[in-house]
Amino acid sequence: MGKTAISTYILIGINVLAFGWLALQQQSLMMNSSHDVLAILNAGANLNPFTLGGQPWRIITSMFLHFGIIHLLVNMYALYVLGTLLEPALGTTRFLLVYFFCGIAAGLASLLFNLYTPSAGASGALFGLFGYRLGAEVIGNFHDRQKLLSIFLNFVVFVVINAFIATSVSVDMAGHIGGFVGGLFLAALHFRLRWFIKKKYLALLLVLLASTLFVLPKDQLRYYQIFQRVLKAEDHTDELYKNVTTNSELKDSLNAMIPVWDSIASSLNAINKIPFQLSADTAILRDYIQLRRQETFYRIKQIERESYVYYDSLEIVNGKFRSLPELTYVLNYKIIETQQELEDTIASHNALLEPARVYYDEHWKETSDINAAKYYRIGQKDSLGRWQGVAIDYYKNGDIQMKGKYSKDMKDGIFIYYSDHHTYESAGRYDKEQPVGKWENFHWNGSLESEVFYGDQIFTATVFDSLGNPQVVNGNGNAKRWYSSGQLAEEGRYKNGRKEGLWYGFHRNGRPYYKEQYRDNRLIHGVSEDLDGRRYVYDYLSEYPFPEKGMPAFKKYITQNKREPFYKPSHGKVKLTFTVGIDGSTWNYVIIQGLSPECDHEAVRLLKEGPRWRPALLHGQEKIPSQGYVEIDF
């Protein structure tokens, strides 16, 4: 029988070295962050889907890893006390067999009774040693009540201390119980039944116990594998959006994702037995997979039709995403080094934005008179008062009039406009205030009216009547538009996607309204007549706002009144757009290309204090709010 506790000191040394190596890597002694827990898991902690998923060695390595210096010190003290007492009495080989038997029993209990909780530490084996000693003393001193009472009191104190520590560092209680039961079991075999006294038989029993690892239920593993497939599909989809450059390739790639989501859903439904604690998460995950499939389907349709109206469908799906309850078990055990930095950056950025609600009159001029307002906008503004991010415009009654996204006050992204009777009006994309790509326009009844492409030139590809009948196909054909009453409103011809020749318009009562001559989409000459019989002659210049006293006079005003900022670049231009009202006033100044904050501010001041503008004229006669554009040199 051995007289020393050499294996006890070796076990303590291995545990200390393992902790020191990991603490050095993590630069932490407490090891209490989520990153530290993931590092311990990667180093070999015990976790059901990992251990049962092809890494059985974790049931041993987890015995030498600890969640912080306190966890380590308490366990090593207990190992020293128990080891120096038991090892000389049992002998080194038998002591090690008992130690690892109890540790494996603890690991198996953790796998069976814990749900996706990483476990580590020597506690399970130590509880087993205590159970072994307690069992031996109970059996050997059954008739000595005073000694039994002392043994049980010591055990209660030990359990209370370890329970407190376990709560503090989230140590595995199932493992503690499993190890303790394993120790009692061995004590009963040895001291009551006198079985497995020989070390070789005890070693065989240890191997048999470890072998049960391969017949444990795989329910957690199957659910985990499905969860990983969801994460992988999400990552793959995100990579597609980042790296695929053409719509055709993206559509083909997204089409390939539809059967992937179907397969994942089928695999989830095929799991026969799911732990009760996972039933709620399983229902949430099932809904989530279906929503991801719907999202992929709508994005494919959006590409096929080149239609942004599917963003409404995607928004509904996203709303359902947001309404899903949170998962109790998020099985993503990846270390993301910059996650906290990213969250801090987002929080810092959002802190600069303030929620805003602004009211507008019928001409979209900001007003403080809520009762006179026709529209209002809800969104966020930055510290300079510029709209940033998603904004939604509403009619006064609360119906949505527009959804869009702004960047530094500029329309920059997808915009969808709605009529006051809940149908689409138009949908498309802006790039810094300029419409780009395909825009869809809709009739009063919500049916598609036209598809227009914006680039270097404007190309009208298709035009439909309100019943869906094609009038212009591939940019060629005669187009007619009717009022909701059925009265003809306008008719003319498109050639190669451009207005060409004579176009005729009519008032709602059927009287002639205008006759306009177009050449390659440009208005050459127009004549219109109002309901009182007054005639107006005009050309393309009437379609744009203009300084009332002419552009030369406006440029002279700029030169005479411009205040050159003290701090500015050597030279450059400030380019800005603004709204011109029907009364000639200007507002809604948007810097398209800035030079410096001082120059930008001066450019806006010059417009605010400058001469009035003549608004654009619809068909040469009706003043309408319009967008102006100027460049001011510094």
Catalytic sites, residue numbers: 123, 176
Question: Which pair of structure tokens corresponds to residue 164?
Answer: 């407190």
DSSP labels, 194-218: --S-SHHHHHHHHHHHHHGGGGS--
Distance CA 573, CA 591 (A): 11
Backbone region of residue 324 per phi and psi (left: phi > 0; alpha: psi in -120 to 50; beta: other values): beta
DSSP labels, 374-430: SEEEEEEE-TTS-B-EEEEEEETTS-EEEEEEEETTEE-EEEEEE-TTS-EEEEEEE
SS3 state at 366: strand
Residue 91 burial class via C-beta count within 10 angstroms: exposed 0-12, middle 13-18, buried 19 and up: middle
Strand 413-418 relative to strand 498-506, pairing? unpaired
> Rounded to the nearest 10 degrees, what angle do helices 123-140 and 69-90 cross at?
40
Distance CA 294, CA 283 (A): 17
The values of phi and psi at residue 319, to 5°, are: -65, -40
Beta strand segments in 216-273, E: none
- What is the Cα Rg of the chain in Å? 38
Neighbours of 123 (CB within 10 A): 28
Distance CA 590, CA 143 (A): 94
